[in-house]
Amino acid sequence: MRRNVRAVLLDGDHLVFLRRGWPGGPSYYETVGGGVEPDDADLEAALRREVMEEIGATIGPVTEFLTVTDPGERVTVVRHYFFADVLNMDLTRRNGPEMGDPDIGDFSPVRVALEVPAVASLELQPPELADYLRDHVRSWRA
């Protein structure tokens, strides 16, 4: 089993996602995050490390709101989704291993209005997360 941590990040009246894609192919959107490493003290420590690596941000308190299990063919992946506020973000602090990989494709942070139509218009993966966000974005705006 492999564990991943992912963050739905609130930055003012916007959500922060990553736009992913490769030249000539379609783009899709996903949350910031990645795999839990052996050196991570716990899920929250892994999440904070991933957020810094991928978008150079520090975040406030985290709340887990969704877990998605993908049995996969070779290994089961359990994704833990957390909600957190962005305290500060500086893209020059990005330092994850994906930043130096020329085969990674587009890996750009994007801010999306905290509104149902804006979130619904994204090709957000996985579908379970997209459904959850469409159902709950109004309450987060409040």
Q: Which domains does the chain have, with CATH numbers?
A: 2-139 (3.90.79.10)
C-alpha–C-alpha distance, residues 139 and 86, integer Å: 18
Instruction: Round to the nearest angstrom and report the end-to-end CA distance of the chain.
Output: 37
Q: Residues 57, 86: contact at Cβ < 8 Å?
A: yes
Tell me, what's the pLDDT at 87? 98
* pTM for this predicted structure: 0.90
pLDDT in tens, 42-75: 999 999 999 999 999 999 999 999 999 998 889 9
pLDDT in tens, 123-136: 888 888 999 998 88
User: Is the alpha carbon torsion for 38, 43, 48, 50 positive or negative?
Assistant: positive
pLDDT of residue 103 exceeding 80: no
Identity of the amino acid at 13: D
Planar angle of CA 72, 100, 90, nearest 5 degrees: 100
Tell me, what's the pLDDT at 79? 96
